[in-house]
Amino acid sequence: MTSWPRSVPLPDDFIPPEIPDVPVTPKDAATVMLVRDAAGGGIEVFLQRRVAGMAFAGGMTVFPGGGLDQRDVDSADSAVAWYGPDAAAWAGWFGCETSLARGLVCAAVRETFEESGVLLAGDADGGIVADSTPYHDAREALISRELSLAGFLDDAGLVLRADLLRPWASWVTPAQEPRRYDARFFLAALPEGQRADDATTETESSSWTRPADALADADAGERPMMPPTRVTLAELAEYDSVADALAAHREIPRIEPTIVRDSDGVRVEFSPPRGE
């Protein structure tokens, strides 16, 4: 089990210049850790470095993900074809309403496709998409919001594969931040035959990296990353294979860190889950 730190240092320039008098309501978001088995054992995770000028987490190393599009929630009442654990199961794992849980799963699939080109979908007979390149135009239309996930899947004759995802964690941006997200973290294995890319304007680079190596880079100042990313990578580093990680039974506490600035510097403090 991961030994949780009680605090993680932050660069001085990461603190917002103005702290809101009233905390901003967090926007729901989904983040997906794509993993694959590494040569020689262990796993690799797909990491992206965000463009420095981004309003949130600019220059940071992150997993694919983003905020909920209202159509992700609305799709609960339309026709997103779905295979795998239903929305009620996801609501139980993440401790939220069923409609939001369905939207989060849809957002996880949509954001993963938009930001990495990996499509967690298949056909009605249980097959999984092995090559997402034929859907390049649809990917661009999803990014521009000209097309909804429901519309894309329906047009392509595909079903969302919720069974390819696993619930992993729930992190909330500190109350001092002007931009806040209530992000649910998912785990997914790279489908056989598919490739992850960095064909997104939000990312300046991407790579498959062993979690321990990514953490070493972060400690050396070569990969800036936020505390949830660091903690999650430390958790992933404990698994010898993708199968072991996917089979892990996890509690999903809602973790909301606090930014602290004093004579010792700037850091994020948070309480570890129960039992730590």
pLDDT digits (tens, 9 = 90+) for 29-46: 999 999 999 998 899 999
- Nearest Cα to 234, choosing from 243, 245, 247? 245
pLDDT at 274: 45
Q: What does pLDDT average to over the chain?
A: 86
Residue 124: the pLDDT is 76
This model's pTM is above 0.85? yes
24 close to 177: Cβ distance less than 8 angstroms: yes
At residue 29, the pLDDT reads 96
pLDDT at 53: 59
Pairing of strands 121-122, 159-161: antiparallel
Q: Concatenated DSSP letters for 137-170? A: HHHHHHHTTSS-HHHHHHHHT-EEEGGGEEEEEE
Residue partners of 216: CB distance under 8 A and separation at least 6: none
Residue 183's identity, in one-letter code, is A
Share of the chain above pLDDT 70, in %: 84
Instruction: From the options 3.40.50.300, 3.30.1180.10, 3.90.79.10, 1.10.150.80, give the CATH code of 7-269.
Output: 3.90.79.10
Q: Rounded to the nearest 5°, which phi and psi values hold at 181?
A: -135, 140
> Domain segments of the chain: what residues?
7-269
The segments of the chain whose pLDDT lies below 70 read 1-20, 51-58, 74-79, 202-203, 271-276
Q: Is 235 left (phi over 0), alpha (psi -120 to 50) or beta?
A: alpha
Q: Is 27 helix (H, G, I), strand (E, B) or coil?
A: strand
- C-alpha of 122 from chain center: 21
Give Dmax over CA atoms of the chain in angstroms. Answer: 60
Are 142 and 110 within 8 A, CB to CB? yes
Q: What is the pLDDT of residue 275?
A: 43
Going through the chain in order, the beta strands assigned E by DSSP cover 7-9, 27-37, 43-50, 61-62, 65-67, 82-83, 121-122, 159-161, 165-172, 181-189, 203-209, 254-255, 258-262, 265-269
The reported pLDDT for the residue numbered 89 is 96
188 contacts 36 by C-beta, under 8 angstroms:
no
Tell me the backbone φ, ψ of residue 36, rounded to 5 degrees: -145, 160
Say if CB 167 and CB 188 are below 8 A apart. no
Tell me which amino acid residue 225 is: M
